[in-house]
C-alpha cells in the first residue's frame, strides 16, 4: 500500500488551495488529491450561474488544473468511500487503499432540495457542481421558455439574471419577504429587487411553493396562496448543506449545525485529519458561534490555513467575517460582516453611518455609478462590525477594503482617516470618498 | 470687523473637506472659506487631464459646491493677502479685514516651471487649476497638431493619453530613465511605457530639454542630445511646489522641503493656525521624515483631521502612506507605500512576493484583465510596507485595500489569511486572489 504524506479528499476550492499551501510550506512531502473528476473537469463554484448566460458553455467554467498539478501534486481520480482512522488509510470506489500521514477532508457541500412534492420530476434541477449534470441542464434549457427559480438568495438571483440574458422568461419565488435578505438590510434588498424587476424577472417574495406538478416533466407550480404558475423548468437555489458522509462514517465529531467540527487550526476531532471548506464548521468572527456561511473565498482561506498547519501549527482561523458581492444587470452589491440587524441580534449596540457619492469623479466622467454605503460600528468601543453598499464594477473590491478594516477591528475615528487613494476614472472623489464619509456620519450620531 | 470662528483660506480639496469636518464636529460655530473663485468655479484637481479628452469641456470638471455651502458654511469670494497673527486678522485683496478664532491655510501648490529658456513663450502651458487658464489651453489646443509634454509622471502620462483621444500627435520627454519612476519599479514602468507607446505616443526617456524655441509661439525643442523636435505646444508636468507665500509673510515656520511645518494635529508654529493639503509639510508614515507626496486624497484626509482638531485635539496624522492609481488606455496601475527600492533606501531589509492572475474568474469571463502584483514586506517583523500592481478598472480599489493593510501594519502571515470576498464578474478567483498569493510567495522566500 502506498502512503501519502498528505492526502486531500476533494479537489475544488478548499482542496486545491490546501494542496498548494502544503506544497509552499512543505517542499519535500508527497501530496495527493483524490477526487472523482479527471483533469480540467472541476467547475469554478461561483461561476455556475454564468455558464448559462455570459459564458454560454459549461467548459468555459472549468478551474485550470495546471497551477496545482504542475507543482508536484499528484491527482488520483477516484472516489474515497471510507476512512480507517486507526490504520490511517482511505478506501476508494475502485477498491484501492491509500495510506496517509495527514488527511484533509475537503468534501464540500450538496445543494438543499426542499421537501416539496414533485421535486423529483424531470426538469427540476439544482446547482450541482458537476460538468455532466450542468451540460444536461444547459441542453434541457434550450427546450424551455419559462424557468422558475425557487430561492432568491445570491445563487437564485444570479441564475435569474443570466437566464434573462438567454431571453428566457424567469420567475423567482422567495419564501422570505425580500431577496438577499440574509445578507442585506431592507433598503439594499429593495434596490436589488427594483433592478431584478427592471430586468423583466417576475419576482415573488413572501411566497411558498406548495407543490411542483407535472406528468414526467415540470408543468406547473402550486403556491401556498392557492395561485398556480405554468413553468417548464424549476431550479432550486435554496442553499447547500455540508457533505459530511465520510466524516460521519469515520466517527469524526459533527458540530451542532451539521458540519465537521474543527478547531482554530482546522483540525477535526482526529488530529491527523483536517477539514476545510463547505464540509467543515465555521464560527463567526464576531460571536465565535457556529456560522452557516459557506463561501468559496472562505474555503480557499481555510485551505491556506490547513495546508500550512499540517506538520506544525502556524496559522489560526479566528472565524469568518463573510465578504459578499454580486451584480444584477450593472448594479453591484456588496456586504461584509454584520448588518445593523445581525449586529443587534448578536447583542451589539450599534451606530451606523451612511454616505452617497459617485464611483468616478467628477460625476460627469462617463460610465460612473452611484455608490451608497452603510457602515455599522460597535457603539461600545467604536470598532467597525459591518458594511453594505451598492455601486458599479468596483463594489467587490471596496467591500474587500472594508473587510480588511473589519478584520483588523479598526475604530470609527481611524476609519475616517483611513489612507485611500483616488483617480478620476477609477474611484470616488477625495472629499466624497464613501468610506471616511460614512464613518464621519456615524461619528456625528454617536 | 466681523470675526469668524473658523476661517479657511483656500477652497479646493483640503479646504472644503476641512470645512465639512469642522461643521460635523462643531455644529454651532461660524465657518467661512475665503477663495478667489465664485461658486461652481473650482476645478477637481485630479480631473485636469480628463478635461482634454474624456470630458471635452472645462466646465465638466467643476467640483460641486452645494455639498459644502448648503451646510451653513459661508463663501467669501476674495483673495487673502496677509495675516496679522497678533490681531488674528486676515486682510484681503478687496481691502477687507476678517477676524478669526482659528485659521486654516489650504493654499495649495503651484506647478513647477523648470528654468528652460523659452518657457515663457506663448503656447507653453502647465497644469494650473484655474478655469480661465484651462479654457484658454483648450482653445489653443484646437489650433495645434503636435504637443510635447515635459515630464513623464502621473500628470504627464495622463495628459498624454487624453490628448491622444483628441487625435493629437503627442511626445513625452522624461529626464529620468523611466516614466512614473518615482512611484513604480522598473518592470511596472516598462509595462506602462509599452502601453504608452502602443497608444501612439512618442515617449523619450532619459532625455532633457535644453531650450524651447520660437518667435512668439512654441515652434521647436532643442534636446541635450543635440536633436531637435518640431512642436506646436508645450505642457509642463514636472510637479508642484507648496504655495507658502502667505505663511512665509506671516512668519510661520517653513520646513526643510519648503512646506508649512505642522505637527501631527495639523497645527503650524502658531497654534491657532492649521495648514493642510499641498501647502503643508507631510511626513512619511514609515520614516517620519518630510515627504514630497502631494495628493488630493492626502489633502482631503488632512482636512478631516484639522477640521476635527480646531477646538480640541481629536485626530492624529501618523504620516502619509501614499496610495496612487492611474490608467493608461485600459491598463490600470496602482502603487502604495514603499517600493522595494524605496524601502531599501529607507534602510529596510525586505522580502517581496509576487502573483499573477485575472481580475475576473473564470478567466474566460469577458472583459477580464491580467493582474500582476508585488508586495514588499519588512524582513525584520513581517509587516507589509508597500505594493504595486497592474490590472483593469478595479486596480485603484485593490490598491486601497492594500493601503488599509499597510496602515494597520499587517504582517505577511496575516495578509495571507486576509478575508477577501470574490465574485466571477468582479474579482479574481478564490484560489488565485493576488493579495494572499503574493504574501504566500513572500513567505516561501523568507
In chain A, where are the structural domains located? 3-110+241-309, 113-238, 323-441
pLDDT at A263: 98
Per-residue pLDDT for A103 more than 90? Answer: yes
Portion 347-376 of B in contact with A at CB < 8 A: 361-366
Q: What mean pLDDT value characterizes chain A?
A: 97
pLDDT at B332: 98
Q: Average pLDDT for residues A418-433, to the nearest whole number? A: 96
Name the residue among A317, A362, A430 with its Cβ closest to that of B299: A430
Instruction: Name the band, by pLDDT with cuts 50, 70 and 90, for residue B354.
Output: very high
By C-alpha distance, the chain A residue nearest B392 is A426
B54 Cβ under 8 Å from any chain A Cβ: yes
Instruction: Say if the Cβ atoms of B325 and A410 lie within 8 Å.
Output: no
pLDDT tens readout for residues A368-392: 999 999 999 999 999 999 999 999 9
CATH number, domain A113-238, options 3.50.50.60, 3.20.20.80, 3.30.420.40, 3.40.1080.20: 3.50.50.60
| A212: DSSP letter | E
Q: What is the CATH number that goes with domain A323-441?
A: 3.30.390.30
B309 Cβ under 8 Å from any chain A Cβ: no
B344 Cβ under 8 Å from any chain A Cβ: no
Per-residue pLDDT for A400 more than 90? Answer: yes
B325: left (phi over 0), alpha (psi -120 to 50) or beta: beta
What's the rounded Cα separation, in Å, for the pair B66 and B82?
28
pLDDT tens readout for residues A194-216: 999 999 999 999 999 999 999 99
Per-residue pLDDT for A438 more than 90? Answer: yes
Portion 373-412 of B in contact with A at CB < 8 A: 393-401, 403-408, 410
By C-alpha distance, the chain A residue nearest B444 is A24
Portion 418-437 of A in contact with B at CB < 8 A: 418-427, 429-433, 436
Q: Average pLDDT for residues A252-268, to the nearest whole number? A: 98
Per-residue pLDDT for B26 more than 90? Answer: yes
What's the rounded Cα separation, in Å, for the pair A251 and A241?
19
Q: Average pLDDT for residues B406-434, to the nearest whole number? A: 96
Instruction: Say if the Cβ atoms of A421 and B400 lie within 8 Å.
Output: yes
pLDDT tens readout for residues B359-386: 999 999 999 999 999 999 999 999 999 9
What's the rounded Cα separation, in Å, for the pair A314 and A301?
14
Instruction: Say if the Cβ atoms of A403 and B393 lie within 8 Å.
Output: no
Per-residue pLDDT for B1 more than 90? Answer: no
A336 Cβ under 8 Å from any chain B Cβ: yes
Instruction: Say if the Cβ atoms of A424 and B24 lie within 8 Å.
Output: no
Per-residue pLDDT for A1 more than 90? Answer: no
Interface predicted TM-score (ipTM) of this complex, two decimals: 0.96
Q: Average pLDDT for residues B199-205, to the nearest whole number? A: 98
Residue of B392, B422, B425 lying closest to A165 (CA atoms): B425
Q: Which residue has the cell 457619492?
A: A357
A268 Cβ under 8 Å from any chain B Cβ: no
pLDDT at B193: 98
Instruction: Establish whether domains B113-238 and B323-441 are of one fold.
Output: no
pLDDT tens readout for residues A28-57: 999 999 999 999 999 999 999 999 999 999
Cell of A250: 469515520
Determine what percent of chain B is predicted with pLDDT higher than 70: 100
CA distances from B99 to A173, B31, B86, B91 (A): 65, 12, 11, 9
Q: Average pLDDT for residues B91-106, to the nearest whole number? A: 98
Rg, chain A, Cα only = 23
Per-residue pLDDT for A303 more than 90? Answer: yes
Question: Into which CATH architecture does domain B3-110+241-309 fall?
Answer: 3-Layer(bba) Sandwich (3.50)
Q: Do the strands B89-92 and B97-105 form a parallel or antiparallel pair, or are they unpaired?
A: antiparallel
Amino acid at each position: 500500500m502506498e502512503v501519502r504524506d498528505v492526502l486531500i479528499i476533494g479537489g475544488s476550492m478548499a482542496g486545491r488551495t490546501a494542496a498548494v499551501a502544503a506544497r509552499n510550506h512543505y517542499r519535500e512531502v508527497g501530496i495527493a488529491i483524490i477526487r472523482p473528476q479527471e483533469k480540467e473537469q472541476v467547475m469554478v463554484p461561483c461561476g455556475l450561474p454564468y455558464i448559462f448566460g455570459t459564458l454560454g458553455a459549461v467548459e468555459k467554467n472549468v478551474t485550470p488544473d495546471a497551477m496545482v498539478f504542475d507543482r508536484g501534486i499528484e491527482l488520483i481520480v477516484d472516489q474515497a468511500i471510507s476512512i480507517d482512522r486507526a490504520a490511517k488509510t482511505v478506501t476508494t470506489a475502485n477498491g484501492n487503499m491509500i495510506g496517509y500521514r495527514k488527511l484533509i477532508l475537503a468534501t464540500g457541500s450538496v445543494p438543499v432540495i426542499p421537501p416539496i412534492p414533485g421535486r423529483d420530476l424531470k426538469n427540476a434541477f439544482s446547482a450541482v457542481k458537476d460538468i455532466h449534470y450542468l451540460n444536461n441542464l444547459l441542453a434541457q434549457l434550450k427546450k424551455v421558455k419559462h424557468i422558475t427559480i425557487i430561492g432568491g438568495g445570491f445563487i437564485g438571483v444570479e441564475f435569474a439574471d443570466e437566464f434573462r440574458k438567454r431571453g428566457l422568461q424567469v420567475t423567482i419565488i422567495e419564501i422570505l419577504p425580500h431577496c438577499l435578505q440574509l445578507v442585506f438590510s431592507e433598503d439594499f434588498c429593495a434596490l436589488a429587487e427594483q433592478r431584478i424587476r427592471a430586468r423583466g424577472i417576475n419576482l415573488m417574495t413572501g411566497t411558498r411553493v406548495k407543490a411542483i406538478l407535472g406528468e414526467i416533466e415540470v408543468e406547473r407550480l402550486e403556491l401556498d396562496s392557492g395561485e398556480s404558475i405554468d413553468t417548464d423548468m424549476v431550479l432550486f437555489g435554496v442553499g447547500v448543506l455540508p457533505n459530511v458522509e465520510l466524516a460521519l462514517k469515520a466517527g469524526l465529531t459533527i458540530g451542532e449545525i451539521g458540519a465537521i467540527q474543527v478547531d482554530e487550526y482546522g483540525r477535526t476531532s482526529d488530529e491527523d485529519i483536517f477539514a476545510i471548506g463547505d464540509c467543515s464548521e465555521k464560527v463567526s468572527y464576531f460571536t465565535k458561534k457556529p456560522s452557516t456561511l459557506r463561501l468559496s473565498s472562505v474555503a480557499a482561506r481555510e485551505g491556506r490555513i490547513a495546508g500550512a498547519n499540517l506538520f506544525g501549527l502556524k496559522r489560526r482561523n479566528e472565524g469568518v467575517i463573510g465578504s459578499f458581492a454580486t451584480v444584477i444587470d450593472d448594479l453591484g452589491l456588496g456586504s461584509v460582516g454584520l448588518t445593523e440587524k445581525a449586529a443587534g441580534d448578536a447583542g451589539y449596540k450599534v451606530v451606523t453611518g451612511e454616505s452617497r457619492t459617485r464611483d468616478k469623479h467628477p460625476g460627469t466622467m462617463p460610465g460612473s455609478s452611484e455608490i451608497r454605503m452603510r457602515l455599522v460600528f460597535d457603539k461600545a468601543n467604536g470598532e467597525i462590525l459591518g458594511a453594505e453598499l451598492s455601486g458599479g464594477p468596483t463594489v467587490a473590491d471596496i467591500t474587500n477594503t472594508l473587510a480588511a478594516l473589519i478584520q483588523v477591528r479598526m475604530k470609527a475615528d481611524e476609519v475616517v482617516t483611513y489612507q485611500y487613494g483616488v483617480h478620476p476614472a477609477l474611484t470616488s472623489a477625495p472629499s466624497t470618498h464613501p468610506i471616511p464619509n460614512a464613518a464621519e456620519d456615524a461619528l456625528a450620531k454617536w
